[in-house]
A and B are shown apart, each in its own frame.
Chain A
Amino acid sequence: MIILAADNNDPVRTRRLRRIGSLSRVMAILCLVTALLLVAAMAYYWLTTPAGALLAMTGVTGAAPPDIGWDLRLGGLAISMIPLSALIFGLMQARRCFTEFAGGRIFSMQTVGGLKAFSIAISVSALLKPLAGAALSLLLSSAVVTGARTLALTVGSDTLLTLLFAGMVAVIAWVMTDAVALADENAQFV
């Protein structure tokens, strides 16, 4: 692990390290706040949204009932939490990376591991999202008055873009592995 300390002889590098530290501290806080907000927003959505809007969101057609029961709402929340849990795990890994960066530990295997875990987590989340959507359509179609079951599988551009982003982060993590090796070697120069 290499700790990048501010070098008084290089003011540009000192300023850059300070900026990296400051931005990383903000990003670490944002990751935590986003994770908490996502859970709260998901719970609020499933517990308060009218039945018609829930059915439309999952692609279920047919006459919407006046309301859907708590069992279906909690079931929907549980299913929705599956891809969200992977995303939150990814955000926590990103937070770990930013905490390391804020402490000046940029070239370390911990940050590489964090980046890899983040890319895997958001890939898993993106892949689980359409499956969760399909499961939700099956679950909520049981509430439709006509009794017809619906299975809606949706893959949007956001899923593809998320997978592309995850791939980019994975490549950056691999590049960082080489950077860590170079930094380790450089640390053995006096």
Chain B
Amino acid sequence: MAIRVRLNVMLAERNVKSKDLAEYVGITEANLSLLKQGKVKGVRFDTLERICQFLNCQPGDLLRYEEDAADQG
């Protein structure tokens, strides 16, 4: 997948627990875990907004585009 989710990195940098973030955002820990692994089809804007509020960051800090080897070929 070309879009990488950097939520794990952001959580570690801010020393925040997944449980606290999930509770603040209003999603289950299971869904947050799937999001961290990039195993979701999409992120709703209101979820993104709550994550950015809690982590005091920008959406671009959470998501990164990386070209796949297949795309380069």
- The number of inter-chain residue pairs (CB within 8 angstroms) is 19
Count class of interface residues, chain B: 10 to 19
Q: B57 an interface residue at 8 Å Cβ cutoff?
A: no
Size bracket, chain A contacts? under 10
Interface residues of B in 15-39 (CB under 8 A from A): 27, 31-32, 34-35
Judge whether A190 is part of the interface by a CB distance below 8 angstroms: yes
Complex interface bits, B49-71 against A, C-beta within 8 A gives 1, otherwise 0 = 00000000000000000000000
The docked-state distance in angstroms from the alpha carbon of A185 to that of B41 is 7
Does residue B44 face the partner (Cβ distance < 8 Å to A)? Answer: yes
B3 within 8 A of A: no
**Assembled-state Cα–Cα distance A158/B40 (Å):** 50
Q: How far is the CA of A189 from the CA of B43 in the complex (A)?
A: 5
Q: How far is the CB of A112 from chain B (nearest CB, A)?
A: 21
A190 to B40, CA, bound (A): 7
Residues of B near A190 (CB, < 8 A) are 27, 31-32, 34-35, 40, 42-44, 47
Q: Is A157's CB within 8 Å of the partner chain B?
A: no
B51 to chain A, nearest CB (A): 10
Bound complex: CA of A185 vs CA of B35, how far in Å? 15
Nearest CB in chain A to that of B34: its residue: A190
B71–chain A nearest beta-carbon distance, Å: 23
| Nearest-neighbor residue (CB-CB) of B41 within chain A | A188
- Residues in A with CB closer than 8 Å to B27 are 190
Residues of chain A having any CB pair with chain B under 8 Å: 185, 188-190
Write the residues of chain B forming the contact surface with A, with a CB cutoff of 8 angstroms: 27, 31-32, 34-35, 40-44, 47
Pull 9 A–B residue pairs with CB atoms less than 8 Å apart, ordered by A: A188-B40, A188-B41, A189-B43, A189-B44, A190-B32, A190-B40, A190-B42, A190-B44, A190-B47
